[in-house]
Amino acid sequence: MEFIEINEDNFWKIINMEVNENQAGFVAPNVKSLAEAYLYRNDDDVIPYAIQDQDEVVGFILIDIDAEKREFMIWRMMIDKRYQKRGYGKQTIQKAIEMARKTGKYDVLVADYVKENEVMGKLLKSIGFYSHSFDEENNEYVLHYEL
């Protein structure tokens, strides 16, 4: 599994991805995430990727880097409903950890999840993330992983 650049070949696959109905309120549509990545394109710290396994695009991740705070953040992540329950979520998070560690520029990996999304909370905690704070404005738990 790898993170690859969003390009003409995978753009519509990313746009057309969906989560299961019971997850719809937990993650923004990928078109919104790509629009936000475009909006912040001059900052060089918001990077969208397709998550690809061999020839299949299975998901999407949006990375947000804060070099000043030495934080590497999974801003958004989604695995298409056709590929869920196959371990891609865990592999994606582990790949983000590897990516952040490889640079040597970051002290912490940040991830958050909507309060009701207990599946994501359990996944993050099983990998070693710990609770850091609660963002009331967005109804999200913020977790940290020490790099």
Residue 86's CATH number: 3.40.630.30
**Burial of 55 from C-beta contacts in 10 A (0-12 / 13-18 / 19+):** exposed
> What region does 14 belong to: left with phi over 0, alpha with psi -120 to 50, or beta?
alpha
Q: How confident is the model at residue 25 (pLDDT cuts 50, 70, 90)?
A: confident
Q: Give the pLDDT of residue 77.
A: 96
Count up the domains in the chain and report the number: 1
Q: Per-residue pLDDT tens for 105-129?
A: 999 999 999 999 999 999 999 999 9
8 Å CB contact between 110 and 94: no
pTM of the model: 0.93
CA distance 1 to 3: 7
Q: Give the pLDDT of residue 42.
A: 77
8 Å CB contact between 84 and 63: no
- Which domain range does residue 139 map to? 2-146
